[in-house]
Structure 1
Amino acid sequence: MTDAISRLPVFSFLWPGMLWLLALALVLSAGYVWLDRRRRHATVHYPTLKSVGVAIRGGATLRRHVPPMLLLLALAALTFAIARPQAVMMLPSHIETVVVVIDLSGSMRAQDIQPSRIRAAQQAAKVLLDTLPAGVSAGVVAMAGTAAVAQAPSRSKDAAATAIDRLKPQGGTALGNGLLIALTTLLPQTAGDAERLMNGDTTPLQKPDASHSGEAVTPGSYPSGAIVLFSDGESNTGPAATQAAQLAAAHGVRVYTVGVGTTDGVVLSVDGWSARVRLDEKVLKEVANATGAEYFPLADAAQLKRVYRALNMRLTFGKREQVEITAFFAALGALLATCAGLLSLWWFGRVM
């Protein structure tokens, strides 16, 4: 419930001082009630007035009050319009490219999700790409002990799906490298910083400017692309995932992370060795939070639809802006006033 309430639009007014005009609607409401009582009083004390017709004929019915009430609501809506209301709303984003990173490490063979972590990740990634708008390009990065582009960004969703199907589990996990390769695929100008991190240089990053004004880029502010990582979070080589996330955040790129597996984990036996492999949610959450994105757990097959629907919603409607909605209240007021006039003309033969 709290999460649902937090998504409701937050209203404010550019000219809040004009809201005092609502007092006029209250005065007119009070005047209408007084006139109605006076009319009923006259009917009771002067029965001969019943012959007047329209003024009395509808007195016992509710519909006599409908046109005036609609007119008062129209006045209230127009008053809101005069005050110039605005709301913080989720707007369609202008995303053009999504790069999917799929973890192919040995731990992704685990079967705490059926049929396995890697198959669940592949299925979720393909469904996600299939639901993206037609104009969005999709790329695929395969990540194990090293990382490489399996499919360059293309508007062909079939090509991306085919590349995902070809992926097989391998050895090693370089989570940071996977994110850096995805970032350079999305923004080629980051290649220099990415290479520096992959070579072990941990010098603090210098954030680029969003404009010549010198304002720093806000994490998650890059509107044209995003990265989606499917992984169990374990990494044993290459730069830290959080370092790669810092570089992505410095360029405003969002990295949505999907945790594949369970926190309890399972014992995995491969090539004569056995180990318990668990989902490391901590690092995946840190990556998502640092880049202004979100983390989604994929702990069982039943969560698959919820994950890709939530991801698709964030990618398609991930932009929150304050929008003036004066036109909506102005149109509502005009519609209510028109309905009031038409109903009065139809029922009583006069506009009001």
Structure 2
Amino acid sequence: MIDTMSRLPVFSFLWPGMLWLLAFVLMLAAGYVWLDARRRRPTAHYPTLKSVGLATKGGASWRRHVSPALTLLGLTALIFAIARPQAVLMLPSRIETVILVIDLSGSMRAQDVKPSRIRAAQQAAKVLLDTQPAGVSVGVVAMAGTAGVAQAPSRRKDDVATAIDRLQPQGGTALGNGLLIALTTLLPQAGSDAERLMNDDTTPTKRPEAFDSSDTVTPGSYVSGAIVLFSDGESNAGPGVLQAAQLAAAHGVRIYTVGVGTTEGVVLSVDGWSARVRLDEKVLKQVADATAAEYFRLEDAAKLKKVYRALNARLAFDKREQVEITAFFAALGALLATCAGLLSLWWFGRVL
């Protein structure tokens, strides 16, 4: 679906019929010009009056026209206010919900990032949590062989931090499931599509038919929330990661990805088996790109602040919104009328 905000007029009125009142302003302006011309006639008929200053007494100079002009402009602004003007403006969006998805797979035990991948991810998640405004709800999704909501979206940061601290590494990696659970937590209306994808037998590279409908929106257009994924990118269970990302993109939700680990990897020994586990940046970049978001890399816990600054800055999206600006014109009209009265009182000792 094409973004409807792009079709809105840049400037419009809710009550355009009230603009006919501007004719009254034109009549007043014409009347003022006529009266001013009439005042000038004695000078034309009796030139000697000008020499003695009678015709110019009272400030018959340019100052004489300032107050009436400001009054007419103020009246014009008030009429615009009566017509209830509205404009399409770029405003800072209000992020209402952020869902943190934390990878708890066995590979996250690796210590190529100190103290370990999982601990570094937890620390990064808590840094991001601490710096969210008070009005933002933060939820936590734990993802390993299966995925589940460890903490429902909440504004109580202590509860969310406790949920993050309780997370422990598990077996398996269902990265796609984690993203789908996060998406349905953020947007419950996406639940039917997510359930279909979880039960779909299509390959990860095939895009489900539901995503091809005209009901999909522009990727990244959902400005009230976002998903942040902390993972090393490895997945060996559940639906395809890119399918989950495509579904999120179809609902306009951005998935910011934070890669935890090193591309060189490290040999990890668990329960009698050993394997080299590496950071799969390619998958994480594809997820971010598909949802109009961005990928970040976290190699060391000491770099948490740098990652946060870059990530949090991008969570503060801008959005186009049609806003009524009646108050602006009302205030402008009152200000111009006040200035007109004060200047006239200062220069001529009277209000207009």
**TM-score with structure 1 length normalisation?**
0.65
- Please state how far the C-alpha of 1:198 moved relative to its aligned partner: 3.2
Q: Which residue of 2 aligns with 1:176?
A: 176
Q: Which residue of 1 aligns with 2:288?
A: 285
Structure showing greater Rg: 2
Q: Which residue of 1 aligns with 2:87?
A: 87
In structure 2, relative to structure 1, the CA distance for the partners of 1:278 and 1:204 (3 Å cut) is closer
Q: How many residues align?
A: 317
| In 1: Cα distance, 2:341 partner to 2:141 partner | 63
Q: Which amino acid aligns with 2:125?
A: A
Q: Which amino acid aligns with 2:265?
A: L
Q: Which residue of 2 aligns with 1:259?
A: 258
| Correspondences of 1:107-186 after superposition (within 5 Å) | 121-132=121-132, 134=134, 136-168=136-168, 173-186=173-186
Spell out, residue by residue over 1:150-191, the C-alpha distance to the aligned partner (whole angstroms, 9 max, x if none). 223334221111222333556654321111122344456755
- Please state how far the C-alpha of 1:275 moved relative to its aligned partner: 5.8
In structure 2, relative to structure 1, the CA distance for the partners of 1:191 and 1:306 (3 Å cut) is closer
Q: Which residue of 2 aligns with 1:4?
A: none
Q: What do you get for the CA RMSD once the two structures are aligned?
A: 5.1
| In 1: Cα distance, 2:281 partner to 2:17 partner | 51
| In 1: Cα distance, 2:296 partner to 2:346 partner | 59
| In 1: Cα distance, 2:147 partner to 2:175 partner | 9
Task: Check whether the contact 1:182–1:227 (CA below 8 A) recurs between aligned residues.
Answer: no
In structure 2, relative to structure 1, the CA distance for the partners of 1:343 and 1:140 (3 Å cut) is same
Spell out, residue by residue over 1:233-279, the C-alpha distance to the aligned partner (whole angstroms, 9 max, x if none). 724322122322344456x46243133469xx542213264465353
| Correspondences of 1:1-352 after superposition (within 5 Å) | 11-14=10-13, 15=16, 46=50, 48-49=52-53, 54-55=58-59, 67=67, 70-71=70-71, 73-75=73-75, 77-78=77-78, 80-81=80-81, 85-89=85-89, 97-105=97-105, 106=107, 121-132=121-132, 134=134, 136-168=136-168, 173-186=173-186, 193-202=193-202, 204=208, 206=210, 216=215, 218=217, 226-231=225-230, 234-237=233-236, 238-248=238-248, 252=251, 254-260=253-259, 266-271=263-268, 273-274=275-276, 277=279, 279-280=281-282, 281-289=284-292, 294-295=293-294, 297=296, 301-311=305-315, 313-314=316-317, 320-352=320-352
SS at match of 2:333: helix
- Please state how far the C-alpha of 1:344 moved relative to its aligned partner: 2.0
Q: Which amino acid aligns with 1:268?
A: G
Task: Check whether the contact 1:67–1:340 (CA below 8 A) recurs between aligned residues.
Answer: yes
For structure 1, which runs of at least 5 residues remain unmatched after alignment?
A: 1-8, 210-214
SS at match of 1:129: helix
- Please state how far the C-alpha of 1:83 moved relative to its aligned partner: 6.6
| In 2: Cα distance, 1:204 partner to 1:306 partner | 33
In structure 2, relative to structure 1, the CA distance for the partners of 1:68 and 1:186 (3 Å cut) is same
Identity %: 52
Task: Check whether the contact 2:234–2:280 (CA below 8 A) recurs between aligned residues.
Answer: no
For structure 2, which runs of at least 5 residues remain unmatched after alignment?
A: 1-7, 269-273
